[in-house]
Amino acid sequence: MDATLQAVARNERGSPAKSVILGAGIGNALEWYDFASFVLFSRYFSTQFFHAEDPTAAFLSTLAVFAVGFLLRPIGGIYFGWLSDRRGRRFAMVASMAVTAAGCLVIAVSPTYASIGLMAPALLVFGRLLQGFGLGGEIGASFTFLVESAPVHRRGLWSSSMFIAITGGSLLATAVGLVLTQVFTTDEMTRYGWRIPFFLGAALGVYALFLRGRLKETSAFEQEQNEARAGAPVQPMAQAIWEHRASVLRIIALTAGPTLTFNTWMSGAITFATHFKGVDARQGLWALCIGCLVYMAVQPFWGALSDRIGRKPNLLMGAGGSALVIVPLLMLIDGSFVRLTLAICAGLVVLAAWTAIAPAVYAELFPTRIRATGVAIPYSLTVAIFGGTAPYLQNWMADHGHLGWFAAYLIALNLLTVLAVVRMPETRGQPLE
């Protein structure tokens, strides 16, 4: 049986395609719903958790907490990646989702600075750390589950569903923001309205637990477990990761530029435009909403294209293109809603060439026995360092008149990604080991 027939057989014995795609994607949707909600509503709750006398300092402190949440992602990636490679993809996805939902709930119910003083920001940090820990394991388990379930000749197309889900989470947060800012006044949003998105996030996490609990394990993992039970030697995880250190380093380089770019457009651009360029908050939300819809629409095109022409051309277009357009697009942003919308849409369409196929590329670099761990550790570490700090750095440098430095930083990291792509092997159509 060739690789394609094997993939189809795996899918027929496992969960239906729609269930696989929805079950794998919903955790990432919640991840970016939470992250987008945190950034989008930070202008309302920043003075609730930090001293209100200096709103700008409170706002920057809140963005720093956003970045702190990424610190536990590598640890979560190690733990849940190991759990996924030892207990199963589905088990790890359920466990990580439970932790993430708990983090949402902590933030939703946390008292304010006026009520409990310094304990308020401490609880905010604790909630973000829970989210970071849970979501650190989300990538390894869900990316691996999705790609192992996909037919070999459609991995790029199936892979594109992941960033549709991720963007859908941001879009949902944006839509919630639009509704709430229409229903509540600014004062009401500051006092209690900002809590509603986090309660919704916790509820979405409970639904994800139910959905994932009904999925079946991938046949690739089950085959690996059967071989282990039959007496096949099991290599220690640390030794296996070390033997594949080239792939670990490759994922770091592949991720550095695009994760900074993604966070720049999904989180940093709207806060930069509203806080420093005078764009109305509601118009900023609409600009991001339109950008998300455009970004989601082009994902399947880029994913299907990679199944036809290969992974490397896509990756080069995504990272190299982002390096080329960042300066003119940042310069395009001013107080205009139209210009902000055009900048976000253009930046995301270019980046989509990379994001549409990232899950497939990552999974194709590792064997089954260490796939989740091998993906989760370098990806979580890179996102923590470069992605989590993007909104803070973009706004801090803008506040100090050095936005050009941020553009140079983004260009440099995307060129690093381009170099990694040039030196990597083509993985399209290769059977999973």
Cβ–Cβ < 8 Å for 171, 37:
no
d(CA 421, CA 253): 9
Residue 361 phi, psi (nearest 5): -60, -45
Q: Answer whether residue 4 shows pLDDT above 50.
A: no
253 pLDDT above the threshold of 60 = yes
Nearest to 259 by CA among 26, 67, 34, 41: 67
Q: Per-residue pLDDT for 7 more than 50?
A: no
3-state secondary structure of 63: helix
Domain ranges of the chain: 17-218+236-423
Most confident of 33-37, 133-137, 358-362: 358-362
- Predicted TM-score (pTM) of the model is 0.78
Phi-psi region of 432 (alpha: psi -120 to 50; beta: other; left: phi over 0): beta
Q: What is the pLDDT of residues 45-93, one digit of tens each?
A: 777 777 666 677 777 777 777 777 777 878 888 888 888 888 888 888 8
The string of DSSP letters for 165-226 reads HHHHHHHHHHHHHHHHHHHS-HHHIIIIITHHHHHHHHHHHHHHHHHHHTPPPPHHHHHHHH
Q: Crossing angle of helices 155-183/281-309, nearest 10°?
A: 170
Question: Nearest CA to 201 among 86, 348, 4, 29?
Answer: 29
Question: What does the pLDDT look like over 366-418, one tens digit per residue?
Answer: 888 888 888 888 888 888 788 767 777 877 887 777 778 888 999 999 999 99
Among residues 353, 403, 77, 378, the alpha carbon closest in space to that of 247 is found at 378
Per cent of the chain over pLDDT 90 is 24
Instruction: Let me know: does 86 contact 234? Beta carbons within 8 Å.
Output: no
pLDDT band at 353 (very low <50, low <70, confident <90, very high): very high
Cα 276–277–283 angle (5° rounding)?
Answer: 115
Across 67-71, 260-264, 279-283, 285-289, least confident range: 67-71
Has residue 277 got a pLDDT over 70?
yes
In the predicted structure, residue 32 carries a pLDDT above the cut 70: yes
Report which of residues 228 and 2 the model is more confident about: 228
Instruction: Annotate 385-396 with DSSP letters as a single string.
Output: IIITTHHHHHHH
Mean pLDDT of the residues in the chain: 83
Hey, what CATH topology would domain 17-218+236-423 get? Growth Hormone; Chain: A; (1.20.1250)
Convert the pLDDT of each residue in 176-228 to its tens digit. 888 888 888 888 888 888 899 999 999 988 888 888 888 888 877 777 777 66
d(CA 140, CA 145): 8
Which of 189-198, 270-279, 283-292, 420-429 shows the lowest per-residue confidence on average (mean pLDDT)? 270-279
| Residue 50 to residue 63: CA distance in whole angstroms | 12
- Measured from the Cβ of residue 277, the count of other Cβ atoms closer than 10 Å reads 16
Q: Using CB atoms within 10 Å of the CB of residue 227, give its burial: 0 to 12 exposed, 13 to 18 middle, 19+ buried.
A: middle
- Pick the more confident residue, 275 or 294: 294
Q: Which of 359, 427, 292 is nearest to 157 (CA)?
A: 359
